[in-house]
Amino acid sequence: MEAFAERGGYCFLSELRVDVLSMFRAGWKDGALASSKKLERLRTFMRFALQRKWISDNPASALKAPSVQTRPTLPFRHNGMMSILAAIEAYAAKPHTNGKANAQRMRSPVLLLR
């Protein structure tokens, strides 16, 4: 924000109108989720400034959040699950002092989450 303000010659919060914040946001090279988090922080800061009466309104509240498309988390296929369980068994075979007990503790949440 500091570099953007210097380039645009902005010195006061009151100069940050919706169009200026839109230009600032247009310079973000992040994905939708990271951009939405940045916008959330910007809105929070501007709300803080509004509560302190440093500005008369919150221009960041007028900015539209990017649409974040989440992909569903799919369960492991049978081969993947067998590989995970085999790795746990291989861990139990290693010569640790508690290798077998640790493998049992790892196996329980893996089976629960399955």
20 pLDDT above the threshold of 90: yes
* pLDDT for residue 25: 92
**9 confidence band (pLDDT: 50, 70, 90):** very high
Return the amino acid letter for 82. Answer: M
79 pLDDT above the threshold of 90: yes
For 26-78, the pLDDT digits (tens) are: 999 989 899 999 999 999 999 999 999 999 999 999 999 888 888 888 888 99
User: Per-residue b/e over 53-82, b at no fewer than 16 CB within 10 Å?
Assistant: eebeebbbeebeebeeeeeeeeeeeeeeee
Q: Can you give the pTM of this predicted structure?
A: 0.61
> What is the rounded CA–CA span in Å between residue 40 and residue 34?
10
Q: Where are the domains of the chain?
A: 2-62, 78-113
